[in-house]
Amino acid sequence: MNCTPITLRGKYVTLEPLEQQHLADMAAVAADGKLWRLFYTSVPSPENTQRWLDTALDMQKQQKAIPFVVRENSSGKIIGTTRYCNMDMNNRRTEIGYTWYAQRVQRSPVNTECKLLLLEHAFEVFGCIAVEFRTDWLNRRSQAAIERLGAKRDAVLRNHMIMPDGRIRDTVIYSILNTEWPGVKRNLQYMQIRYEE
């Protein structure tokens, strides 16, 4: 498991390495629904998109993350972002996080396929023994989406982070283990089929 940029292709989306040239696309994605107004997310406002992008690329240089843009196959447009983060090669663990999509593609097959691609690569190529997800205690929608994937809640870290606005965040931690992956994979594939019906 290493932080070399990779491309993951699915039926609906392609996950491509995040690059500096994606700055305008990411600002446009965040603007679709003014996602930065959701105080419990990490979506950057237009004036902070460059800082967000620099941080993501710096995490990759430090061998801590692999950031992606999410490209919609049907339109060719960038519609979101996600990344492997907190990558722990020695313990064969990673987190999937920093995920957000344009409002127009939320509650579509996009997130399910992105997670299927990322989890498949983590367990079947990286050889991870666990994949983690973290979200804000106040982000109930994100918690529901993570639970729909088949992840199990491990813990709540109280007073875990001081957010940019000064609010102190409680963080909910979920995980999927390698022994659970075959069942989770079948469930995600079934969810994909249901979108096609």
Max CA pair span of the chain: 45
Residue 2 has a pLDDT of 80
37: containing domain: 8-196
Q: Say which residue the tokens 């240089």 belong to.
A: 61
Q: Say which residue the tokens 């075959």 belong to.
A: 182
Task: Give the range among 26-30, 37-41, 115-119, 127-131 with minimum mean pLDDT.
Answer: 37-41
| CATH number for 141 | 3.40.630.30
- pLDDT band for 186, please (50, 70, 90 cuts): very high
Angle between the 181-196 and 109-124 helix axes, to the nearest 10 degrees?
150
Is the pTM value of this prediction over 0.75?
A: yes
Q: Does 189 score more than 70 pLDDT? A: yes
- Residue 1 included in any domain: no
Q: What are the tens digits of pLDDT across the range 45-71?
A: 888 899 999 999 999 999 999 999 999
- Residue 3 included in any domain: no
Beta pairing partners, 94 = 131
- Residue 114 included in any domain: yes
